[in-house]
Structure 1
């Protein structure tokens, strides 16, 4: 495989020719970090792809600027057979190279400064960082022991020997660091405390908030607060997990939302939107009603969206194309009404107050956001 030419083309596509990140992207053989991966099979399940069986497809996938899913549910692609067709959510992937570089840039790496890569995955970001600042300054952590071991072995084959750790970062992070980059979404509140404690005063954090696409960066002050901003940049990362897979996403409430009449029935003002792909709106909904889960489906011209929340609230909105939707809601909160108020604000102001907002993260993990007269806190409820 002529991977060097393809890696160089990838590098020229995603970074400037004078960038310090061009050599790492151009010289790291990404395909060796992702020998097998999953792709959707068109039926709602996943099909295995083995690079050794089709080197051309392997190179095309590895040197495209795309995410490669390496684990679905509890099944690693490395452990699967061609007959396996897992269903469900991805639980690990190789981060797109351009996104890995963007997160490293947000972290403001410096020569000799210890870096924690939180969320090893396939090890691509670890490889780029090891190339750029030296592997002795890089630690990579994942909750999955197999990922830590496999990535460590593959990185060693490339000549990189960073420290590889297995730990649940929502509970404990071994060591202390000057820079922390997270490629998993971190939860505000108690699940963020261990990460904050491992960042030394004067250190810098670059992360996304779980269930949002908000990239939050900040410097740790002597009083323990991390102060910074929501970047005018966005990223979609899987949320941090503590167990083998993600917990059941309120299947009982989704089942109810699909068929129930609802205590409150009305007509919505705005067209049905697929919130998973409306990143800023989805993020604003999450910081307004933390913990909300989403569903969306389209059949012919009919589009239907579902919202459910752990407090028992649910909403269903359905309509043809851009027609006003029929809305059914129940539970202690009217979730579709909350969403419509956010869309009113978006239409009235032309934007939402998230991107560019000021951030203060206190040692208890609570994330305080503010912009102008708007302010909210996440993780304190």
Structure 2
């Protein structure tokens, strides 16, 4: 895995080669389909060592260890849980290393990192030494299990039960978060030493933010060239229930709406993009995307928004333009087509490489080539 992730002369080669990732993921949830429904199935490493090693040492695989309130460590053998939001994982090694590379860790850096399985914490301990690493998680069990597994790997960093969006337990030269935040917590800026650097992702987008603390208590930086998406922060045992869009969903599936037009481009899976999805989220936050495919090759995309706006775009095939029905106070598909036109004309979208300025209260401003957007503090 180390050979496949970095060059041998990299400072991260040794930590990758020496850290036993399988210790941190003895059991995990594997997504799959059963009777036409997506579910998560329990996998146990001791019962299937080949699958365990293959899963643990895949540089490009995040291993899901918790779904909703269900931790794999506590599940009965052969357990199956319905599809839900994953709530903890061992982040894919290649991405963990990329985050640390963006952080530009010095040998004497005091690092705060989010915990999860503890694997990323172990890599940091190999690089910096246990005494310079603090790892936090909102989940008491995750902290205890990580403590035990880190000890088995020979590490004893500082581990704290902590909501990472609240007060942090020290002052740090680097903050690296493998959970996404809706806005930058002001507590991070307070906990960063002068000139310190933070690396995190913004929820609902593929944007990875790298920013250095400035003298005014804020920070400046840019959007990293690589997209990244993580589970969002949570403040309890699970995420709050998703909004009930049942009535809006029923309307979006059948109604003609106030606007019926022909779209400019074929139907796309917005959630499979990062630049289009990120730009749309910054423009109209909170859109839910759904997709249906018919046996005859038709493709229908739906967009639902909490303000009552909806869109339905149906095309006879993957390469045909759709008929678009829209209703509510906003024209969601028009916003999507406007962004896609921008991409066609310019070749990229301004979120890629955008400059970042963060106010001391955590408000995040992005800008590039005359475009700008702001995200309020968390």
Q: Does 1:323 align with 2:316?
A: no
Kept in 2: contact 1:315–1:335 (CA 8 A): yes
* Per-residue deviation, 1:249: 3.2
In structure 2, what is the equivalent of residue 96 of structure 1?
92
Count of residues in correspondence between the two structures:
369
SS of the residue corresponding to residue 85 of structure 1 reads: strand
In structure 2, what is the equivalent of residue 56 of structure 1?
50
Instruction: Select 2:252's aligned residue among 250, 257, 265.
Output: 257
Q: Structure 1 residues 367, 317: CA separation in 2 closer, same or farther (over 3 Å shift)?
A: same
Kept in 2: contact 1:257–1:315 (CA 8 A): yes
Separation in 2, partners of 1:203, 1:106: 12
Q: Does 1:39 align with 2:30?
A: yes
Kept in 1: contact 2:203–2:229 (CA 8 A): no
* Per-residue deviation, 1:245: 2.1
Instruction: Select 2:305's aligned residue among 287, 302, 309.
Output: 309
In structure 1, what is the equivalent of residue 108 of structure 2?
112
Separation in 1, partners of 2:28, 2:138: 19
Q: Does 1:214 align with 2:210?
A: no
Q: Does 1:203 align with 2:219?
A: no
* Per-residue deviation, 1:379: 1.8
Q: What does 1:169-184 correspond to in 2, within 5 Å?
A: 169-184=164-179
SS of the residue corresponding to residue 180 of structure 2 reads: strand
Q: Structure 1 residues 63, 342: CA separation in 2 closer, same or farther (over 3 Å shift)?
A: same
Q: Structure 1 residues 332, 60: CA separation in 2 closer, same or farther (over 3 Å shift)?
A: same
Instruction: Select 1:366's aligned residue among 357, 363, 366.
Output: 363
* Per-residue deviation, 1:260: 3.7
Separation in 2, partners of 1:378, 1:71: 29
Kept in 2: contact 1:93–1:122 (CA 8 A): yes
- The answer to which of 234-243 and 100-109 deviates more is 234-243
Superposed CA RMSD:
1.7
In structure 2, what is the equivalent of residue 241 of structure 1?
234
SS of the residue corresponding to residue 17 of structure 1 reads: coil
Separation in 1, partners of 2:25, 2:370: 47
Kept in 2: contact 1:268–1:324 (CA 8 A): yes
Q: Does 1:16 align with 2:2?
A: no
Kept in 2: contact 1:138–1:163 (CA 8 A): yes
Q: Does 1:26 align with 2:22?
A: no
Normalised to the residue count of structure 1, the TM-score between the two structures is: 0.92
Write the deviation string for residues 280-334 of structure 1: whole angstroms up to 9, x where unpaired: 1101111111222222333332222222222222222222212111222222211
Q: Structure 1 residues 286, 52: CA separation in 2 closer, same or farther (over 3 Å shift)?
A: same
* Per-residue deviation, 1:167: 1.8
Kept in 2: contact 1:312–1:332 (CA 8 A): yes
Instruction: In structure 1, list runs of 5 or more residues that go unmatched.
Output: 1-9
Separation in 2, partners of 1:380, 1:316: 32
Instruction: In structure 2, list runs of 5 or more residues that go unmatched.
Output: none
SS of the residue corresponding to residue 50 of structure 2 reads: helix
* Per-residue deviation, 1:24: 0.5
SS of the residue corresponding to residue 239 of structure 1 reads: coil
Kept in 2: contact 1:37–1:77 (CA 8 A): yes
Q: Does 1:343 align with 2:332?
A: no
Kept in 1: contact 2:186–2:377 (CA 8 A): no
Superposition misfits of 4+ residues, deviation over 4 angstroms: none
SS of the residue corresponding to residue 121 of structure 2 reads: helix
In structure 1, what is the equivalent of residue 149 of structure 2?
154
In structure 2, what is the equivalent of residue 280 of structure 1?
275
Kept in 2: contact 1:249–1:293 (CA 8 A): no
SS of the residue corresponding to residue 201 of structure 2 reads: strand
